[in-house]
Structure 1
Amino acid sequence: MRLLQLGFFLALASGLSALLIYITGVSDLRTCDQFTNESRFGSIAVSTKRFQESVNGLGLQAVTTGSDYCKVTINFPSDTVPKWKDPKTGELEGLSFDFNLCEAVATWEQVRNSTTILTSEFIDALPNGWEDYAWRRINKGVLLNQCKNKTLCLEKLSLVLPETPPYVPRQFDRCAVIGNSGDLLKTKFGKEIDDYDVVIRENGAPIKNYTEYVGKKSSFRLLNRGSAKALDKVVELDETRQEVLMIKTTIHDIMNKMIREVPINNPVYLMLGASFGSAAKGTGLKALEFALSICESVDMYGFTVDPGYKEWTRYFSESRQGHTPLHGRAYYQMMECLGLIKIHSPMRADPSRTVHSVPSQRTITAARIASEKLLRRVGAGSEDPLRACSIRKKLAKRKSTSVSGLRKAAVDHQNFVKGTIMYPLEHHPGHGVLCTLPKD
C-alpha cells in the first residue's frame, strides 16, 4: 500500500509538488526529501519567484496530511469571513477542507470516458433497473410500487428518456461553464464567452440585459429541482429556444405537463452522474461533470475562488442561502490545479489568467494509474478501457454510435472503446461502470 502511495506521489511530483509550492510559496524543500531526491525539487526551486507570484494572486495554502500522500488540506487565510451557516447546527463554515487527490484523479478520468445522461438502455441493462432504480428518478416514485407497472413508469419518464446518449465523450472542443456569481459584473467577458464552441449555464440565470458580461450564446442549461419546476419560464431565458435542458434530480408531473402543453420543444434530459460523496455539491459541480463528459477542455466563469473576493452575490439578484460556498471554491481550485478546468476570475491580474505548474497530461495519466491501484478500482491500471466495466451488456437492438460529423478526438475515442457506452454506477464500491456494447 505504501509503495502504491509513493508511486502516486512520484507520478505527480513534477506537477503536484509544484502545485503545493505554487499555492503555499516555497518553504523548506528539505521536508520533501522523504519522498524524492532534492534534484527533482531543484528545478521547481529555480521557479520559486514565479510560483510566489501565483500565490499572491490566490492566497490559498495546501498542505499534505501525515504520511498519506493522497490527502491534502486546502486552507483559506485566517482573515477570510465565512458567510454560510450550517442549518442544523448554526455554525459558520470552516476555513480548512480535506480532499483526496487520488480519488479526484481517478474519478474525474472516469467521468471523461462516460456518459452523464440517463437513458432507457441504461435502465434496461442495470440488474433490476426498473424495480430498484427507475422509480428513484421520478418525483414521488416511492408510490409507484418499485415500477412493477413498468408501463406507468415509462410513461412518466418517456419525455426525458432517450434510448441511447445523444452525446459522446470529446464531442465538443472548447466549452465554458457559466456560474451565477456577482463577480461576472466586474469584467466584460461576454464576447470571450461567445467564442466557445459550447456554453453551459445554470438554473434561472438570465442572459438578456447582461450579454456584455455573460455573453448571449447558450447551448445547455443545468437545472436543480426548483428551476426544473419552472420549465416554461426557463425556456424563455434563451431567445433562440434551442438550449438543451439538463435536470439533475427527478422528473415531476408538472414538468411533463409543461413539456406537452406549453409546449416545450427543447430537448430535456435527466443527468446520470458519478459519486463524489460530500467533496463537492451543487449545480456548479454537476455542470462541470456534464461538461467534462462531452468536452475536450472546460473553462469556468462566475466561480471566483480567490480568497480576496469577499462578496456573496449573484449577478442578477440577491444571493440565496446556498451550500458550503468556501468548500465548493476550494474544490474548484483543486480541479484547476489538477489540470481538469481553467478558472477565469477578475481577481487575477494576469490578462491571460494562466495558472502555472499544472501537472502535464502525461503526469496525470501516471498518477491516475497509481491511484486506481491504490484505491483498488475496477480494472485498475489496465490499458483496456473495458476492464473498468463491472457490468457488460451486449444489446441486440443497439447499433454502433454513428461517427459521421464527429470531430477527430471523438471518433478516436469511439474507436478506442470499441463503440462501447460507459455509464457511471452511483455508489458502486469499486467505482465500476456499466457498459453497453453494440451488436456484432
Structure 2
Amino acid sequence: MRLLQFAFLVALTSGLAAILIYITGLSSLYGSNRISDEDFEALLSLQSGFQKCVSANGLGLQAVSGKDYCHVTINFPSDTVPKWKDPNSGELEGLSFEFDLCEAVATWERVRNSTTILTKEFIDALPNGWEEYAWRRINKGIHLNRCQNKTLCLEKLSLVLPETPPYFPRQFGRCAVIGNSGDLLKTRFGKEIDSYDVVIRENGAPIQNYTEYVGKKSTFRLLNRGSAKALDKVVELDETRKEALLVKTTIHDIMSKMIREIPIKNPVYLMLGASFGSAAKGTGLKALEFALSICDSVDMYGFTVDPGYKEWTRYFSESRKGHTPLHGRAYYQMMECLGVSLSLSLSIGTSNHYQACGMSLVGKHLISYAVCLVKLIKIHSPMRANPNRVLKWVPSRSTIKAARVASEKLLRMVGAGSADPLSACSLIKNRDKRKPASIPSLRKAAIDHQKYVKGATLYPLERSLGHGQLCTVQAG
C-alpha cells in the first residue's frame, strides 16, 4: 500500500513539474514579451507547418520541436558520415543543429525591405559615423597593415562608396545564387542558370570550362577577404568586365590594392548587410542576403550536399578547410521551408497574350488578377533537378506574416507588430536634397516598393539597437 502511495506521489510530483515547466515556458512568451493568444497560435502553426515541410522536402532531414515555439532542431539521418573537423577541438561536425524560426522570419522580412550596399548616406546618417564606424571598418585585425593616416583612409573609403544605394528592393525578378559545391558537376544546370534575370556568384569560382554545369552569365560576385586581395585575378573571371563586385570586408591593405594598384572597370561596392542570425555565416549566406534584398525570388544552386554525403568538395578545386557543409545544408533547408512571398498584380490584356493566376473576361478584354504564392527560396541539386519541383507543406503567407508579427514582439524589435515599414527605424535622418539615383526601366515591383516605404531608404543596423533599421527619408 505504501508503495502505491509513494508511486502516486511520484507521478503527481512529475505531473506538477511538467505543468510548472509548461507554465514557465508560456510566461516567457506571454509575460515579459506580451504576446497575445493569436501570436502564440501563429508561432505554434509556423513550427508545426515547418516540421511537415522539412519532413516532406528535406531528403531525410527531420525537424523536431525545441525548447519553445521559436526553436527547432534539424537532425540528419543517423547513417550520415560527417567529415569536417573543428580545427580547435578536433571534433567531427554534429548531425543535429538548432535554429530560431522567430529570428529568421523577423530578420528576413526586414532584409527584403533594406538596401545591403554600404553608402556614404548610411555612414553620414550614423552618429559620429565617419569618426567611428568608417574608421573601424578599415582597421579590422591586429596583424594587418593598419591605416596610419586617418584622413587618407577615409578618402580611400569614399572612393568606393556611392552616395545613395545603387540597387533597390524588388529591382530584379528571378535571381540565382551559385555556390561552389562539387555536386554541381553531377547535373548540367548551365542553360537553366543562364535563364535567370540575375546570377550571383562567389569569390574566385570560375565560369570558363564549366559553363554546361554552372552557366556563363554573371551579374554580381560577392568576395571575401582572400578573394578581395586577389582582385586582379577575380576580374579576369568575367569576360564582359561588367560583373559588379561586392566586397564583404573592408581592411586598409585590401582598400589600397583595390583602389591604387589595380585599375579595374568593374563596379565595386562594399557589402553592408545584417547578420541572418547566430547560425548564419560565410560568403554564401551573405550572397543570399544580398539576393533577398534585391530580388523577388531566389534560387540556390551548388550550396548543398545530398544524402550519401561523404565529404564537401568544390566543383573547380580541392575543398577548402573551414566549411561546415552539414550545418549549412540544414540552414538552407530552413530557408526553403520558410520562404514564401505574396505577389499581387492587376493587368489588362488580351486572352492571347496574357497569363496570370486568375482571369475574368470583361467585354473584349481579359482582366487578369494575380494573388499568387510565389516561392521565395528554392534549393536545386542533383536530387532536386526538376525546375518545376513542387514544395510540399510550405507554411502559407498568412502564417508567415502572423508569425513574423509575434516574433518581432518576442525579440523586442523596434516597431514590433506594425505594418508600417518606417516603424522599424531605430535612426531616422532627413535625406539631403539631391537627385534620386537614376536606374533605367525600373520594374513596377520596385516602384511599388518605393511607394510602400514612402520613398525612404532602409538600411539594416547589423543586429544593433534592438534589431532596428536606419532610415533616410525625404527632407521636409
Task: Compute the TM-score of the two structures, normalised by the length of structure 2.
Answer: 0.80
For residues 214 and 235 of structure 2, the distance between their equivalents in structure 1, rounded to whole angstroms, comes to 17
Matched, 1:374 2:410: yes
The SS at the match of 1:69 is coil
Query: How much does 1:274 deviate?
Result: 0.8
Instruction: Tell me the distance in 1 between the aligned counterparts of 2:254 and 2:461.
Output: 28
Distance change >3 Å, CA 309–CA 7, structure 1 → 2: farther
Match of 1:386 among 393, 412, 422: 422
Q: Tell me which protein shows more strand as a share of its residues.
A: 2
In the alignment, what sits opposite 2:432?
Answer: 396
* Residue in structure 2 matched with residue 2 of structure 1 by the alignment: 29
Q: Partner of 2:388 in structure 1?
A: 352
Q: Distance in 2 between matches of 1:288 and 1:95?
A: 24
2:58 paired with 1:62: no
Change (3 A) 1:6 1:317: farther
The runs of 5 or more residues in structure 2 that have no matched partner are 1-27, 340-375
Cα contact 1:86–1:92 (8 A) shared by 2: yes
Structure-1 residue corresponding to 2:176: 176
Q: Is the 8 A contact 1:131 1:148 kept in 2?
A: no
Matched letter for residue 317 of structure 1: S
Task: State the alpha-carbon separation in 2 of the partners of residues 351 and 246 from structure 1.
Answer: 28
Is 1:423 the counterpart of 2:450 in the alignment? no
**Cα drift, residue 354 of structure 1:** 2.9
Looking at structure 1, the residues matched to 46 and 98 of structure 2 have their Cα atoms a distance apart, in angstroms, of 20
Count of paired positions: 408
Query: 2:104: which partner in 1?
Result: 104
- Taking the aligned partners of 2:319 and 2:402, their CA distance within structure 1 comes to 41
Letter in 1 for 2:201: R
Q: Take 2:470 and 2:148, find their aligned partners in 1: how far apart are those partners?
A: 23
Greater radius of gyration (CA)? 2
* In structure 2, distance between residues paired with 1:147 and 1:262: 19
Partners of 1:201 and 1:317 in 2: CA distance: 16
Alignment partner, residue 51 of structure 2:
20
Q: Alpha-carbon deviation of 1:355?
A: 2.1
What is residue 325 of structure 2 aligned with on the other side?
325
The answer as to whether partners of 1:344 and 1:353 remain within 8 angstroms in 2 is no
SS of match in other structure, 1:107? helix
Shift in alpha-carbon separation, 1:236–1:64, aligned structure 2, 3 A: same
Partner of 1:287: 287
Q: Hey, what does 1:88 align to over in structure 2?
A: 88
Aligned to 1:437: 473
Query: Matches of residues 59-208 of structure 1 in structure 2 within 5 Å?
Result: 59-66=60-67, 68-139=68-139, 151-208=151-208
Q: Is the 8 A contact 1:16 1:338 kept in 2?
A: no
Secondary structure of 1:104's aligned partner: helix
**CA–CA distance in structure 2, aligned partners of residues 396 and 255 of structure 1:** 27
User: Residues of 1 paired with 2:36 and 2:224: CA distance?
Assistant: 38
Q: Is the contact made by 1:59 and 1:77 (CA closer than 8 Å) also made in structure 2? A: yes
The alpha-carbon deviation at position 376 of structure 1 amounts to 1.4
Distance across 1 between alignment mates of 2:434 and 2:262: 33
User: Residue 138 of structure 1 contacts residue 156 of structure 1 at CA under 8 Å; is this kept in 2?
Assistant: no
- Give the share of equivalent positions with the same residue, in percent: 78
State whether residues 199 and 219 of structure 2, in contact with CA within 8 Å, keep that contact through their aligned partners in structure 1: yes
1-structure distance, mates of 2:305, 2:399: 25
User: Aligned-pair distance for 1:271?
Assistant: 0.6
TM-score, scaled relative to structure 1: 0.87
